[in-house]
Amino acid sequence: MDTKTKLISSAERLFDRHGFTATGMDKLTQAAGMSSRTLYKHAGSKTALITDVLAERHRRFQHSIEVDSVAALFDALEAWVRVEGCRGCLFLRAQGETGGDTPEIADAVRTHKAALYAKIQEIVSLETGGLHPEKAEQVLVLYEGATATAVYRGVDAIVAARAAASALIQQARA
Amino acid sequence: MDTKTKLISSAERLFDRHGFTATGMDKLTQAAGMSSRTLYKHAGSKTALITDVLAERHRRFQHSIEVDSVAALFDALEAWVRVEGCRGCLFLRAQGETGGDTPEIADAVRTHKAALYAKIQEIVSLETGGLHPEKAEQVLVLYEGATATAVYRGVDAIVAARAAASALIQQARA
DNA sequence: CGCAGTGTAAAACGATCACTTTACACCGTC
DNA sequence: GACGGTGTAAAGTGATCGTTTTACACTGCG
């Protein structure tokens, strides 16, 4: 594994477990197994490192939601949290920690959420024959809710969200 | 307004806008209009101040959700974000920033979420005649989802959540 | 052989962190 | 009129923040 990949993946882990602000550069260099000079050569700054981490996570997340039904969307989320754990949406957490004051981070969040919503719109349109576009936002809310609620209620929240989403879609088809 | 009340309300505002870790004691003393000595006499420590802020917010929040229908629950949330803004659940944000490593904060989050879930169970039971207890978790997910999604989609998310929740309850009644 | 590239360890940068201390002023009460 | 309680301003605590610097070692390529 090359230097930058190792840096980003170990940084993602630390940011996710302990928060962005609370994670210092010493912890990051130590976890990545490199000197601070090397870290700065590859990342440039802490903000840039956070941006890189979010971009990589977005890439991986996008791949994980390549599905074509609402039920499968929540199955994918369940599989995700089983592998990655459930500490809430890392993008919204980054937004919250910075108060939206860091433009690069705010942009990464916007991009990620726009893509998520677009994907959900695509799936819902597929399942309802494009007849109920308002259901997309409801499914989005269920998806975000599943992610947030799983923090303290675990996978049960995702199971409940999938059931609710399926019921709403079923209802739209009738 | 007495000293401690002023301290807690100004601290809540800063924590909410800029995050817990990113908000230093100098900003807190300045916003509260008091010396650091007075702040420490009343709060004890930053962690204790965060705990006090969360406890006060919980008190205020509990009062705001004294309703007896699912629709009214989301109306209350909409009214809340119109007054307080929508930057996500402050409890989950505190949990995320500390990684759950601070017991007092983790306790505050647990208490808050247990009360929220209990309230939703009560309302759902009221509306479905106690026949569909599994709907409570679905409404909880919609509630958390509305809070999280409102961060980037505003009140629309809450409106969508209310519609979805009402549909699910309606379905349970049939 | 020489040299650019990439890495290391470790010290230092000024700033800021949470927190404490010193010294002093105003207050109503006994 | 001395008093404890509550407040202030401001300097100082050591630690840690993100970042840069100095000095040096290894590697593959011309």
Locate B25 and state its tokens: 């004691």
Q: Is the CB of residue B31 inside 7 Å of nucleic acid strand D?
A: no
CB contact under 8 A, A143 and B142: no
Whether residue B14 is predicted with pLDDT greater than 80 in this model: the reply is yes
Q: Is the CB of residue B45 inside 7 Å of nucleic acid strand C?
A: yes
Other C-beta atoms within 10 Å of A35: how many?
A: 10
- Chain A residue numbers with beta carbons less than 8 Å from the beta carbon of B70 are none
CA of A166 to C1' of D15 (A): 53
* Interval A109-152: pLDDT, tens: 999 999 999 999 999 999 999 999 999 999 999 999 999 999 99
Residue A114, C-beta contacts closer than 8 angstroms, at least 6 positions apart: none
Q: Tell me the nearest-neighbour CA distance from B97 into chain A, angstroms.
A: 5
Whether residue B1 is predicted with pLDDT greater than 70 in this model: the reply is no
pLDDT score for A63: 97
| pTM for the full predicted model | 0.95
- B1-44 belongs to which homologous superfamily? Homeodomain-like (1.10.10.60)
pLDDT score for B6: 92
Other C-beta atoms within 10 Å of B147: how many?
A: 25
Q: Do residues B74 and B158 lie in contact, with contact meaning Cβ atoms separated by under 8 Å?
A: yes
Query: What residues does each domain of chain B span?
Result: 1-44, 54-173
Q: Using CA atoms, how far apart are residues B115 and B121, in angstroms rounded to an integer? A: 10
Query: pLDDT band at B3, cuts 50/70/90?
Result: confident
Query: pLDDT band at B172, cuts 50/70/90?
Result: confident
Is B77's Cβ below 8 Å from some Cβ in A? no
- As a dihedral over the C-alpha atoms of residue B54, residue B60, residue B61, residue B64, rounded to 10 degrees, the angle is 180
pLDDT score for A31: 93
| Eight-class DSSP state of B19 | -
CA of A62 to C1' of D27 (A): 38
Locate B60 and state its tokens: 């205020």
pLDDT score for B11: 96
| Chain A 69..128 CB hits on strand C (< 7 A) | none
